[in-house]
Each structure stands twice: as structure tokens, then as C-alpha cells.
């Protein structure tokens, strides 16, 4: 059919694309770039996960069995940098690339060449970052938060770290600009802002957060660079500088950053739960406003990461109250998701399973977050495994499960094949069980007094560390199923149909599976929009 | 080369597995925060438990509704979706306002405790605490007593990579020091916390005190140990401070007021004697954060 069209109308030659390596390196296509982002994220997920496995290996027993403490510190630092900037953020950009044009009735992203650039910066950034393992002094070991003066003790890796962070930041900003321009300019006629799917909404807000805070991070690390090499003393008290100022600047970036990591997951879950409940999302507008409120609040809570640095009473009270306030819009979201399931007609395919696990386990992460907001209690929790448990609950069964849910939701659309549902269910159950074995005991460890970022511990912490390590190995092994399931699905399988899931609504399901190379070459008709843009 | 590495790996695996059999610590009971031995630490513990139980109660309700929906409204059981149920202003107002009320209920006791913690007036003893890579320096400002406190030798030997020493045979492994920090009970002790090189954090769970030790800054913290609770209390540095961050414990030796006074007098006399004959001109001035550049302890 495509060939016939090609001969009749050369300008409508939809599937023309370069072949071989040129297709990828020169790509300006949102799907190909999205695929590259996702493959890259998957690769980084396994490298960062490998670092996590080594961490859990060393922590399996008290005493040092495998690594020098300095190398252990490098592992924790690199694990965080790789997972945040290499796995989660590129995975979100990959999903945005694939889905936003398809969900808005657009042919592609608004700025395709920029899109190519923003992806191709990443392999260079991470080659640079990972090569620090082989330079004198080893990989950065001062924590991903890069607090001075400690980070200034980094060896040859220091300028490489700074430059890598600059590159990642540039890539993120370019990606965010592209998302905003696409959403603002490429919506098909009739798709008003309040008819957009929630994944698009949450990504729009995420993109604004990225543009607001990535330059702040770039500024902070640049000041570190000049402190180290050019004699400035931004963060050195002896020269009139202030080491705590770095922490304020860093967390002014860092707190919105954690919402950058989670908001798109809110969007995905807001699409999956209605689909498998066969019922529209409860409180669509409330969801949009709650997301915007969370984004706004994220700018005024940063100092809750640093209650122990010694702040005035008024500042501590302010940051405690503003942090607690975040529980309100987040609660609204959880209640809306629950109300969506209420009186629905539920089925439990893999995307729904991951979304439900998200719902339960992210809420647990929210509870521990509320506990951490209480300043006096935070004095006891700060820098212990309780914090480690908290942010891993929101980032692994929160963000990572959100990404998994999205991949399992849209994979049939991308490939045209239904994946092996049985194997995907195995992947889910192994992940959901082991993630709790891995992280739940860390609450106990932290409360009992185990600090984070230590390579060795007092013997009374042995038992729960051992449980946590076993959970870690199980979780890590279970993730190997994901690339296998995806690869098998790409290679073939039962045709998925255009609307791969019975209850799915949205413009992406109005396209063929797999979709045409240039998604919507003509805007969808009013009838299609009416059918597709129901929430 | 490869054989050497394999031998190393085998040794490492054996070392990792060894304590599996020898281990007999009450590790499973390590579940919760300590109530501690000060008024503040107990306040914090009660706040912690209050918020915990509120979270449990909310969890029971929210998870209950979720589980109810998952069990009841199954397509496989013939459930039909009520697609009109998309919005309800009343319900939405309730689940916005009720959380606000719960939050206020939690914020009030938290703020009260915080105000108490920040009250550093009427202190009876002031000690400057300086974190360095990797240990602590205690400086009794009014009494001319100063000393360093580092990981004890048995732990230090056992913690070497593949030391061959089973950590479970070392008493208070990683939580023991050569010179504990001696303080009196029933006395409001003020700490002036600072750092010599990088940021550290002085944490004593039993007192509910954690304060960052930042070069160029002097932070204040205080504790008042119960009169009937003399003894040894253990904690660790809580801010990543480089290679040996995991190996700079804190041990507080809390003594009765009389015992403390006697100890302080003796210690002051010892230090005075030690300082006079050898270096009369260069009596070591109390090192400040700015002058104290190098840890007096060789980097390992």
C-alpha cells in the first residue's frame, strides 16, 4: 500500500528513511530518537544496577571483603549519578519522544534536529563519566550531591565530573525545550490544554522544572570548578566563602529534580489505571492542578534536605511546613487514582500490575517522606538508611515501576506485537516482591542507627543488611527479564491490534500498530479526537 | 595474574560467608529508633511514633479502599464500570481539607519540640567538638582540656580489607574509640560543633542530637543526660567525609557530676604538666577551624 502511494504522490513518501547506521546517527525522527533514548536508559540502568549489586555485595557482611572504602564511595556516588541522569531522565525523555507527538495528533517533535543533538550528547557525557573509574584517584567518591569541601578532594576525575554534569544538563534542557515547543505548537486543532492526556500534562510541567533548575546545577558545579582550579573561594570559608551555600544552591536544583524524576510517572499511572479500570480518570482537572501545585511547592522546600546544617529556627519551621504541605496535592492524586478504580471493571495486565504496585509503594515512600519532614525527628533520620529507604521507595517502585508500566503499556503499540504476558507477569511479581525485601529492612537499619554511605557496619546491623542484599540480588536478576521480553516482542508475536488494550483511550490508539514513521501526517478528524481524547 | 585474582575472589567470598555461622548478635530486634536518655530524645521518639501511627492509620484506610476496589470491582467477576463517576466536588473538598487538619495536628508538637531544641540558653558546660578526617577533637574550653578521639585499635585492625579478623569477635566493632568523650549527667552540656577539613556530622542517637561539623562554621547543639543514666553511649559520623567516613565513631562516657569533676581536674593537671617542660613558648593554642589544617593522624 505504501508503495502505491509512493508512486502516486512522491511528497507523501512517509516511510522514507536512511538505512543502516545513518538512520540512527542522523535521525530526526521522534520514534527512532525515542528508541535510542530508551535503549540508552536501559543500558545505564544495568550499569548503575551493577554498581548497586557491588554495594549490596560488600554490605552482605560486616568487615571489608571486596573493596577499599574509597572505591565503595565511588560506587555509591556513581550509582546515583548513573541512575538519575543516565537511566531515569533519558527514559522519560525517550517516552516523551515516542508518545507526545502521537498523543497530540502531531507528525513529530517540533524541533527534530535539536532532538538529535540532545540525545547524542548523552553517550559522550556518560563515556566521560564512566571513564573516571580508570583515571588517577578513581571515580568521584564525594557523593552525587558533590558537597564541598569533600568533592574538591577528588582526583583527576574532578573536571571530568563537572564537564559530564554540564553535558547532561545541556541535554536535559534541550530535551525540555523541545517538549514545551511541541506541546505548545503541535497540538492538533481541537486539542485544548485541558483535553491533553495526563502524561503530556505532567511532562509539560516537568519540562518547565528542568528549564528552571538545570542551569542552577550548572552554575553550582561551575563554581566548584573555579574554586578548584582558578582560586575562587565561593564555598571556602577561609576565603570568605560558604560551604553551606553550595548545599542551598544544590538543593534548589535537587528538590525540583526529584519531581522531575517522578511527575511523568504520575502521568503514566493516570493513563493506565483508567484504561484497566475501564472508567475515565476521576478528577482530571484536580489532577492537573495538583501536579502544578506540587511543581510550585518543589521550589520552596529545598532546605528540608539539610536540616542539620544549623539554620535559624524560623527557616526550619518554614521548610518543615512547606514540606508537609506537599502531602496535600500528593494525597489528592492518590485519592483520585483510588477513586478511579472505585466501581470500575478491573483487569490486571502487566501495565496495571506495575501501576498498582506504584500506587501502594509510592504511598509508603510518601509516608516516610512525611515523617522526614518533622524537623526534630529528621535530626534522627538525616543521613541514615531510613532516608535511603525513603528515596528508594519513591524512585524504584515509584519512578522505575512507572517507567516499566509505561513500557508494558505502549510496547504493543510501538512494535505491533503483543509481548509475552506470562513472562511480563513473572517480571512484575519478582520485582514487586524483591523490591520490598531489598528496601523495607533499610527503614529498620536507619532507625536502629546505621548511617548511609558506609562500606562497613557494626555487627548488630548484619541481619537486616543480609536480607536487604538478598532482595537486591533478586531484584537485579529479575530485571534481566525486561530486555529479553522487549527483544522477543520486537522480533515478533501475536499482532496487537491498533487499540492494544480494551479500555485504552487516547490518540495514540487511533494510529496503526506499529504507527507510521511520521505519526500524524494529517491532523486527526474531530470524530477521532472525540473518540480518542476522552480522559 | 588471573589466578591471583581468582584466589583473591575465593578468599573474599569465604570471608563474606564466614560470619554466617559465627554470628549471634540480636540483629533482628534492631527495628526502631531509640527513646534515648534525654528529655529531648524522648520527645523526638514520641513525635516519631505519633507520626508513624498516624501514617499507619491513613495507610489502613487508603490501602483498605484500594484493596477493596481490587477485590470487588474485577472484570473477571462481572463488574461493570460506572463511567459517570468522574467528579465529586464534596468528596474532593473533604480529601483536601482533612489532610490539612491532620498535618496541623502533627506540626504543632513538632514545632514545640523544635523550639525546645533550639533553646541553647542556661548551659553549664561548653565543649568544642571538631570533626576531622577521620576522628573527633574535644576541647573543654573553660578548663584547658583537649584531646582526640579515634576508632579503637581492635576495630581498626579488623576493618582492614580481608583482615582475617571476624568482626563479631571484636567488642563494639566500629563503635568503639580510644578516648571517649567524657561528660557529666544532669548537666546542660553545650557543644560548639565545627569541622577542620570537610563537613562531618556529630550524631548521638541516644541524645537526639545530630549537628553538622562544617569548616568555618560553629554550630550549636546541647543535651542534658538523665541523672540516673550514666554510661557509655555510641554513635557515628553522619555526613560523608571521605574514605574513612564509616570509621569515625563517637563514644560518650556519661559520668556523675562528682566523677566528672574529678576526671576533669585530673585531666587538666595531666595536660598542664605535659605541656610545660617541653614547649613553654609554643603552648599549643586551642586550634581553631582555620589554623587546624592537618589532621594529626596520618591518612591510612
* A395 interfacial to chain B (CB closer than 8 Å): no
- Residue B163 covered by a domain: yes
Give me the pLDDT at residue B176, please.
Answer: 96
- Whether A342 is a known active-site residue: answer no
Task: Give, in degrees to the nearest 5, the angle at Cα A394 between A391 and A395.
Answer: 80
| Within a domain: B65 | yes
Taking alpha carbons only, the member of A469, A441, A415 closest to residue A34 is A415
Burial of B140 (0-12, 13-18, 19+ CB in 10 A): buried
Do B259 and B145 share a structural domain? yes
Size of chain B, expressed as the number of residues it contains: 300
Residue A414 lies in a domain: no
HSE-CB at A315 with a 13 A cutoff on CA atoms is 12
Give the span between the Cα atoms of A77 and B243, in whole angstroms: 13
- B169 and B47 in a common domain: no
Q: How many CB atoms lie within 10 A of CB A281?
A: 25
Confidence of residue B2 (pLDDT cuts 50, 70, 90): low
Our CA angle for A465, A471, A473, nearest 5°, is 105
The whole-model pTM stands at 0.92
Q: Is B209 helix (H, G, I), strand (E, B) or coil?
A: strand
- Listed by number, the residues of chain A in 313-342 with a beta carbon closer than 8 Å to a beta carbon of chain B are 313, 316-317, 320-321, 324-325, 327-328, 331-332, 334-335, 338-339, 341-342
CATH number at residue B99: 1.10.287.90
Q: What is the pLDDT of chain A when averaged over all its residues?
A: 94
Can you count the helices (H) and strands (E) in chain A? 20, 0
Report phi then psi at B254, rounded to 5.
-90, 125
CATH number of the domain to which A188 belongs: 1.20.210.10
In a domain, B14, yes or no: no
CB contact under 8 A, B25 and A339: no
Neighbours of B138 (CB within 10 A): 20
State residue A19's pLDDT score.
84
Q: Are residues B107 and B155 in the same domain?
A: no
- The answer, for B281 touching chain A at a CB cutoff of 8 Å, is no
Is residue A64 within 8 Å of B243, Cβ to Cβ? no
User: What crossing angle do the helices spanning A157-185 and A112-131 adopt, rounded to 10°?
Assistant: 160
Which residues, 6 or more positions from B20, have their beta carbon under 8 angstroms from its beta carbon?
Answer: A61
Q: Assign residue B242 the CATH number of its domain.
A: 2.60.40.420
Residue A33 gets the label, from left (phi > 0), alpha (psi -120 to 50) or beta, of alpha
Residue A42 in domain: yes
pLDDT band at B9 (very low <50, low <70, confident <90, very high): low
Percent of chain B residues past pLDDT 90, beyond the cut: 78
Shared-domain flag, residues B112 and B137: no
Decide if A281 is inside a domain: no
Could you give the angle at which helices A30-58 and A69-81 cross, rounded to 10 degrees?
Answer: 150
Whether residue B164 sits in one domain with residue B109: no
Bridge partners of B138, per DSSP, are B129, B147
Other beta carbons less than 10 A from residue B82's beta carbon: 13
* A360 found inside a domain: no
Of how many residues is chain A composed?
A: 535
- Any CB–CB contact under 8 A between A278 and chain B? yes
Judged by average pLDDT, the poorest of A52-56, B1-5, B207-211, B265-269 is B1-5
Question: Does residue A79 have an active-site annotation?
Answer: yes
For A49, left (φ over 0), alpha (ψ -120 to 50), or beta? alpha
User: A278 and B58: CB-CB below 8 Å?
Assistant: no
- Does residue B102 share a domain with residue B131? no
> Do residues B96 and B158 both lie within one domain?
no
Cβ of B208 and A359 within 8 Å? Answer: no
Residues B189 and B246 placed together within one structural domain of the fold? yes
What three-state secondary structure class fits A495?
A: strand
From A181, A284, A271, A190, select the one nearest A525 (Cα to Cα): A190
Domain region containing A170: 27-196+517-535
pLDDT for res A14:
54
User: How many angstroms separate the CA atoms of A464 and A443, rounded?
Assistant: 10
Q: Place B27 in a pLDDT band, splitting at 50, 70 and 90.
A: confident
CB of B212 within 8 Å of a chain A CB? The answer is yes
Mean pLDDT of B187-205: 97
Grid coordinates given for B32: 526502631
A243: in domain: no
Q: Is residue A92 part of a domain?
A: yes
Share of chain B above pLDDT 70, in %: 83
Give me the number of domains chain B comprises: 2
Instruction: Determine whether A255 is an active site residue.
Output: yes
In a domain, B186, yes or no: yes
State the residue range of the domain holding B66. 39-76+87-118
Q: How many domains does chain A have?
A: 1
Residue B226 and residue B199 share a domain: yes
Residues of chain A with pLDDT under 70: 1-15, 533-535
A203 is annotated as an active-site residue: no
A190: left (phi over 0), alpha (psi -120 to 50) or beta: left
Q: Across chain B, what does the average pLDDT equal?
A: 88
Do B134 and B270 belong together in one domain? Answer: yes
Cα separation, B268 vs B243, whole angstroms: 34
Q: What is the pLDDT of residue A207?
A: 98
Interface of A with B in 32-61 (CB under 8 A): 57, 60-61
Enumerate residues 96 to 115 of chain B having a beta carbon within 8 A of any beta carbon in chain A. 96, 99-100, 103, 106-107, 110-111, 113-115
Evaluate whether residue B139 is within a structural domain.
Answer: yes
Query: How much is the pLDDT for A527?
Result: 85
Task: Please choose, from the candidates A105, A505, A435, A534, the residue with its C-alpha nearest in 3D space to the C-alpha of residue A272.
Answer: A505
A374:B48 CB<8 A: yes
User: A231: alpha, beta or left, given left = phi > 0 and alpha = psi -120 to 50?
Assistant: left
Give B274's pLDDT tier (boundaries 50, 70, 90). confident
What separation in angstroms does the CA of B198 have from each of A70, A151, A394, B133, B296? Answer: 15, 9, 30, 8, 15
Clarify whether residues B183 and B246 are in a common domain: yes
Same-domain status, B110 and B228: no
Tell me whether residue A405 is in a domain: no
A28: cell is 530526526
Give the ipTM of the model, two decimals please.
0.92
**For residues A158-196, b (16+ Cβ closer than 10 Å) or e, as one string?**
bebbbbbbbbbbbbbbbbbbbbbebbeebbbeebeeebb
Amino acid at each position: 500500500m505504501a508503495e502505491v502511494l509512493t508512486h502516486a504522490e512522491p511528497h507523501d513518501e512517509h516511510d522514507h528513511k536512511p538505512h543502516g547506521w545513518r538512520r540512527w546517527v542522523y535521525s530526526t525522527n521522534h520514534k527512532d530518537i525515542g528508541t535510542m533514548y530508551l535503549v540508552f536508559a536501559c543500558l545505564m540502568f544495568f550499569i548503575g544496577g551493577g554498581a548497586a549489586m557491588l554495594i549490596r555485595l560488600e554490605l552482605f557482611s560486616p568487615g571489608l571483603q571486596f573493596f577499599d572504602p574509597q572505591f565503595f564511595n565511588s560506587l555509591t556516588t556513581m550509582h546515583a549519578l548513573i541512575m538519575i541522569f543516565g537511566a531515569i531522565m533519558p527514559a522519560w525523555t525517550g517516552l516523551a519522544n515516542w508518545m507526545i507527538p502521537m498523543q497530540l495528533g502531531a507528525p513529530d517533535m517540533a524541533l527534530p534536529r535539536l532532538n538529535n543533538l540532545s540525545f547524542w550528547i548523552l553517550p559522550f557525557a556518560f563515556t566521560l563519566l564512566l571513564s573516571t573509574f580508570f583515571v588517577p584517584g578513581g571515580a568521584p567518591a564525594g557523593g552525587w550531591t558533590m558537597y564541598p569541601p569533600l568533592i574538591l578532594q577528588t582526583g583527576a576525575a574532578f573536571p571530568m565530573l563537572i564537564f559530564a554534569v554540564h553535558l547532561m544538563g545541556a541535554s536535559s534542557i534541550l530535551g525540555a525545550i523541545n517538549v514545551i515547543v511541541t506541546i505548545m505548537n503541535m497540538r492538533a486543532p481541537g486539542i485544548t490544554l485541558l483535553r491533553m492526556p495526563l502524561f503530556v500534562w505532567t511532562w509539560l510541567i516537568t519540562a518547565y522544572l528542568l528549564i528552571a533548575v538545570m542551569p542552577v546545577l550548572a552554575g553550582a558545579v561551575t563554581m566548584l570548578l573555579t574554586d578548584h582550579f582558578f582560586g575562587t573561594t565561593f564555598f571556602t570559608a577561609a576565603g570568605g566563602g560558604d560551604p553551606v551555600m553550595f548545599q542551598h544552591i544544590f538543593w534548589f536544583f535537587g528538590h525540583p529534580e526529584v519531581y522531575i524524576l517522578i511527575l511523568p510517572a504520575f502521568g503514566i499511572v493516570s493513563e493506565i489505571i483508567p484504561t484497566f479500570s475501564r472508567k475515565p480518570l476521576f478528577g482530571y482537572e484536580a489532577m492537573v492542578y495538583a501536579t502544578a501545585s506540587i511543581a510550585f511547592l518543589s521550589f520552596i522546600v529545598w532546605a528540608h534536605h539539610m536540616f542539620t546544617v544549623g539554620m535559624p529556627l524560623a527557616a526550619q519551621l518554614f521548610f518543615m511546613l512547606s514540606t508537609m504541605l506537599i502531602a496535600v496535592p500528593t494525597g489528592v492524586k492518590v485519592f483520585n487514582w483510588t477513586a478511579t478504580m472505585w466501581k470500575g471493571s478491573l483487569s490486571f495486565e502487566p501495565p496495571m500490575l506495575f501501576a498498582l504496585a506504584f500506587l501502594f509503594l509510592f504511598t509508603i515512600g510518601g509516608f516516610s517522606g512525611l515523617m522526614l519532614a518533622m524537623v526534630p525527628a529528621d535530626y534522627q533520620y538525616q543521613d541514615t538508611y531510613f532516608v535511603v529507604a525513603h528515596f528508594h521507595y519513591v524512585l524504584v517502585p515509584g519512578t522505575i515501576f512507572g517507567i516499566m508500566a509505561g513500557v508494558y503499556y505502549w510496547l504493543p503499540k510501538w512494535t505491533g506485537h503483543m509481548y509475552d504476558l506470562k513472562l511480563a507477569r513473572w517480571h512484575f511479581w519478582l520485582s514487586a516482591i524483591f523490591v520490598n525485601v531489598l528496601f523495607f529492612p533499610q527503614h529498620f537499619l536507619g532507625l536502629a542507627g546505621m548511617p548511609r554511605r558506609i562500606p562497613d557496619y557494626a555487627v548488630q546491623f548484619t541481619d537486616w543488611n543480609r536480607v536487604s542484599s538478598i532482595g537486591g540480588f533478586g531484584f537485579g536478576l529479575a530485571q534481566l527479564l525486561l530486555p529479553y521480553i522487549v527483544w522477543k516482542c520486537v522480533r515478533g508475536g501475536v499482532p496487537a491490534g491498533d487499540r492494544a488494550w480494551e479500555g485504552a483511550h487516547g490518540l495514540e490508539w487511533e494510529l496503526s500498530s506499529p504507527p507510521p514513521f511520521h505519526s500524524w501526517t494529517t491532523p486527526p478528524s474531530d470524530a477521532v479526537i472525540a473518540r480518542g481524547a476522552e480522559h | 595474574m588471573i589466578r591471583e585474582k581468582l584466589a583473591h575472589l575465593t578468599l573474599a567470598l569465604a570471608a563474606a560467608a564466614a560470619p554466617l555461622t559465627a554470628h549471634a548478635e540480636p540483629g533482628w530486634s534492631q527495628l526502631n529508633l531509640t527513646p534515648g536518655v534525654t528529655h529531648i530524645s524522648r520527645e523526638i521518639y514520641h513525635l516519631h511514633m505519633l507520626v508513624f501511627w498516624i501514617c499507619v492509620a491513613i495507610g489502613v484506610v487508603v490501602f483498605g479502599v484500594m484493596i477493596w476496589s481490587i477485590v470487588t470491582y474485577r472484570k473477571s467477576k462481572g463488574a461493570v464500570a460506572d463511567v459517570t463517576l468522574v467528579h465529586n466536588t464534596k468528596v474532593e473538598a473533604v480529601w483536601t481539607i482533612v489532610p490539612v487538619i491532620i498535618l496541623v495536628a502533627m506540626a504543632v508538637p513538632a514545632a514545640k519540640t523544635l523550639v525546645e531544641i533550639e533553646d541553647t540558653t542556661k548551659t553549664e558546660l561548653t565543649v568544642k567538638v571538631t570533626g576531622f578526617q577521620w576522628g573527633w577533637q574535644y576541647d573543654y574550653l573553660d578548663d584547658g582540656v583537649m584531646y582526640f578521639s579515634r576508632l579503637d585499635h581492635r576495630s581498626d585492625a579488623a576493618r582492614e580489607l580481608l583482615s582475617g579478623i571476624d568482626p563479631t569477635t571484636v567488642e563494639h566493632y566500629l563503635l568503639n574509640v580510644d578516648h571517649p568523650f567524657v561528660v557529666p549527667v544532669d548537666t546542660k552540656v553545650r557543644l560548639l560543633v565545627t569541622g577542620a577539613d570537610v563537613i562531618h556530622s556529630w550524631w548521638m542517637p541516644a541524645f537526639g542530637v545530630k549537628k553538622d561539623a562544617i569548616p568555618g562554621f560553629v554550630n550549636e547543639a546541647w543535651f542534658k543526660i538523665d541523672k540516673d543514666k550514666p554510661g557509655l553511649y555510641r554513635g557515628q559520623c553522619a555526613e560523608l567525609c571521605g574514605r574513612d567516613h564509616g570509621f569515625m565513631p563517637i563514644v560518650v562516657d556519661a559520668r556523675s557530676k562528682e566523677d566528672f569533676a574529678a576526671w576533669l581536674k585530673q585531666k587538666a593537671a595531666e595536660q598542664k604538666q605535659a605541656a610545660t617542660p617541653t614547649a613553654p613558648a609554643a603552648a599549643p593554642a586551642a586550634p581553631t577551624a582555620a589554623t587546624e589544617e592537618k589532621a594529626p593522624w596520618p591518612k591510612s
